[in-house]
Amino acid sequence: MPQQPRAWQRMLSGRRLDLLDPTPVDIEIADIAHGLAFVARWNGQTHGDFPYSVAEHSLLVEALFRELYPKAPARWQLAALLHDAPEYVIGDMISPVKAAVGAAYGELDSRLTAAIHIRFGLPAAIPATVKKQIKRADRISAWFEATQIAGFSEAEATKFFGRPPEAMQQSLKIVPRPPVEVREAFTARHAELMAACHD
């Protein structure tokens, strides 16, 4: 009888995460921070001495979300920080590849997102209005990444992601950092937000 293909991944923490049926108890922030810090956005096609990681992107999206929505509670800031957290095990696919793969990728992403949210005290599915706000910050981040480190012209980036508010364009500068430094920054920000959620 043929053996079933392995559907779990062993994490550095020692956890075994079932990718098809993830449970919150097998999710650790150390694994997420480490994985995201070593996953490159834009398939690694960025300028700089280091890849621009999903962890770095997530920190930027959370900062932009906070700037756009300063009255948002800490739990939604945490949701912004974790918006791409499933990519610590499934990697970061660029949008054209996601479209080609189809619904299966989205379903896997949704299951992992729900488990991650529950693990850190968030609802499995966040409200649609908050999700839309995080997506706005995500698209602004993508515009800056595209124009500053991924070789897009401003016109091309604006066509795909929309144009950020003028005030943001004057102040934001992206500089990719070493993965270990980003991993530590992501872990520290997560700890701050978790503490703020329980105040």
Tens of pLDDT along 118-157? 999 999 999 999 999 999 999 999 999 999 999 999 999 9
Mean pLDDT, rounded, for 169-193? 94
Return the SS3 of 16: strand
Query: Which residue ranges make up each domain of the chain?
Result: 17-198
Superfamily of domain covering 17-198: Hypothetical protein af1432 (1.10.3210.10)
Q: Per-residue pLDDT for 57 more than 60?
A: yes
The neighbouring-strand residues paired with 40 are: 53
Q: What is residue 49's predicted lDDT score, i.e. its pLDDT?
A: 93
Per-residue pLDDT at 4? 61
Each residue's pLDDT tens digit, 157-168 = 999 999 998 888
Contacts of residue 45, Cβ cutoff 8 Å, sequence gap at least 6: 150, 151
Tell me what percent of the residues of the chain surpass a pLDDT of 90: 78
From residue 116, alpha-carbon distances to 29, 38, 82, 113, 151 in Å are: 9, 19, 8, 5, 33
